[in-house]
Structure 1
Amino acid sequence: MTSPLRTSSIGLLTGGDPPPVGLHNGEASSPFLIICDHAGNAVPAALAGLGLPQSELDRHIGVDIGILGVSKGLSDHLQAPLIFQRYSRLVAECNRRLDSPSFMTPISDGTLVPANQDPAADDRQARIREIVEPYHAEISGRIDHRLAAGLPLILVSMHSFTPSLRAAPAPRPWHIGLCYHHNRHFSDLVLDELAHQRDLVIGRNEPYGVNMAEDYSVPVHGEERRLPYVEFEIRQDLIADASGQAAWAERLAPVLSAAHARLAMESGR
């Protein structure tokens, strides 16, 4: 089955489609740079909803439920720039390398994605060129600018996870998980601060870790640049509404600030 993408001389996105890159507090000067790969579930009009009903796009397979609200709140508390992706991970998975099987996944948690069964090469390239590349270019550009100016930078990657998968129905008890690979020092500082909050069940590389072979954002923008980073996964039932999102932003902001203070003290900055 081929993709329903309608190619044209003006490309995939048209005037009625939102731009892929969202910014919040874009002029803020905090050392934190917050990114949110799965903030939205938009689909370009030319892709006809990927052949899915809206109810599927609204599931965790289409968007990291609740995480944009948390990210915006955290951005406000820290006065840190937030970069977020508006298009669904089912259109193009911005946190996967281009050769990953799940970059344009044909099936997600038991749901067949009709437009991703056998996409034509130009369909795939249009999604990369117009959705994925502008998002990562914005992140790279901001990192380059701060580093060139000799300014400190800590990458904060925001995600959420479903309490249970349809394909593997088992409870996931963690309230929050941290994902890290070799460059884990800042994550360890954050874990130390979170440990003071006795009501939390904290996952360490649970329910996910960092897959250096397939993941993109933390491996490329964090690990490969040797930047301090933390990647959060928050359980979606805790942030499904505005009050939960606000509460988690308020919870994480002082944790990040305290971890940053310790890191700055270590480095003498």
Structure 2
Amino acid sequence: MPLPDPLLGAEDPDVFRIFGSSGRSEWLLTADHAGRAIPGRLAGLQLSPALLDTHVAWDLGVAGLAERLAALLDAFLILHNYSRLVIDVNRPPGAPDSIVSLSEQSPIPANSKLSIAQREQRRSELFDPYHRRITAELDGRQRRGQPSVLVALHSFTPVHSGQERPWHVGVLHGRDGRLARRLLRGLRQERGLQVGDNEPYAVSDDSDHTLVVHGERRRIPHVELEVRQDLLTSEAGQQEWAVRLATVLVESLAEELPPIQHDYSPLG
């Protein structure tokens, strides 16, 4: 069987971009859903521009937040440029929602009848390069003796499937909650701030890839942070949250973390 033509053409953006490539701190930031690009060959997945402007396609406001936070922390930041509707780089390959044909109430017809070869092509061209770059950065730091702390940044819609979400920010973790517990304590000291503990999402082996593979399996400190999207609509809001998160992240490492205790039994 002949191989399909390359998915990405000369006019398509790079798979990811790096901000703070010379960051000297221990912090390594990721933004899996920072972009909404779609390869030209896929003709916008037959979706309206209006839909591609919504949270269905990407994490609104997270790119601006991530860049401001990276600048404050002198951190390395990697941002994925393509829409999660093409392939979700925070889902294990082969997971049912790795390439969705229905997102919330929005059908994605171009994804409904993909061949195995087409799915594998999206993985090889858009998923694998991003995670190889994260792996290479962490490997390089380990060789140089530079500590690493992984922070996966996301944003969430204030209303999902008709349900309002009251949290301003969510602190997510799986087996290893050492860093997350410190961040929860720090954020909850601010009066009026509603902080979710594994809300509005929880980390699992089935629903998360970045944190599990690059954080848990490497046994480095890690956490996932979700900020509500209506708080990130302006540059001022993004800066406010960057300062808030930078403050609690730095404070969280003021004392050495306790020894890691988690194992690798299945995580639901």
Residue 143 of structure 1, aligned match among 134, 138, 144: 138
Provide Cα deviations, 1:145-179, integer angstroms capped at 9, x if missing partner. 112222211000000000111xx211100000011
1:87 is the counterpart of 2:93 = no
Alignment match, 2:265: none
Distance 1:57 1:137 in 2: 27
Q: In structure 2, give the amino acid aligned to 1:96.
A: R
Check the 8 A contact 2:62/2:155 in 1, yes or no: yes
Report deviation, 1:131: 0.7
Rounded to whole Å, the distance in 2 between the matches of 1:44 and 1:182 is: 36
Aligned residue for 1:263, secondary structure, equals coil
TM-score by length of 1: 0.92
**Letter of the structure 1 residue corresponding to residue 242 of structure 2:** A
Distance 1:263 1:89 in 2: 36
Aligned to 1:54: 49
Asked if 1 retains the 8 angstrom alpha-carbon contact of 2:179 and 2:223, the reply is yes
CA distance in 2, matches of 1:125, 1:49: 19
Structure 1: distance between partners of 2:121 and 2:94:
16
2 CA distance for matches of 1:60 and 1:7? 30
Normalising by structure 2, we get a TM-score of: 0.93
CA distance in 2, matches of 1:171, 1:12: 38
Matched, 1:73 2:47: no
Aligned residue in 2 for 1:229: 222
**Cα drift, residue 225 of structure 1:** 1.3
Q: Is the 8 A contact 1:157 1:218 kept in 2?
A: yes
Provide the residue aligned with 1:241 in structure 2: 234
- For residues 149 and 184 of structure 1, the distance between their equivalents in structure 2, rounded to whole angstroms, comes to 26
Partner residue in 1 for 2:266: none
Compute the displacement of 1:254 (Å): 1.1
Cα distance in 2, alignment partners of residues 161 and 214 from structure 1? 15
Structure 2 equivalent of residue 195 of structure 1:
188
Report the CA distance between 1:117 and its aligned residue. Answer: 0.3
Equivalent in the alignment of 2:93? 98
**Superposition RMSD in Å:** 1.4
Cα distance in 1 for residues equivalent to 2:69 and 2:59: 16
Q: Distance in 2 between matches of 1:89 and 1:260?
A: 32
Instruction: Indicate the residue corresponding to 1:171 in structure 2.
Output: 164
**Where does structure 1 lack aligned partners over 5 or more consecutive residues?**
1-5
For the pair 1:112 / 2:107, whether they are aligned, the reply is: yes
What amino acid maps onto 2:74 in structure 1? Q
Offset of residue 246 of structure 1? 1.1
Answer yes or no: is the 8 Å Cα contact 1:186–1:263 preserved in 2.
no
Cα pair 1:59 1:65 within 8 Å, conserved: yes
Q: What is the rounded CA distance, in whole Å, between the counterparts of 2:39 and 2:256 in structure 1?
A: 42
Q: CA deviation at 1:96?
A: 0.3
Q: How far apart are 1:98 and its partner, in Å?
A: 1.0
2: distance between equivalents of 1:127 and 1:212?
21
Contact 1:174 1:201 in 2 (8 A): yes
Q: Tell me the distance in 2 between the aligned counterparts of 1:222 and 1:248.
A: 23
Contact 2:188/2:194 (8 A) holds in 1: no
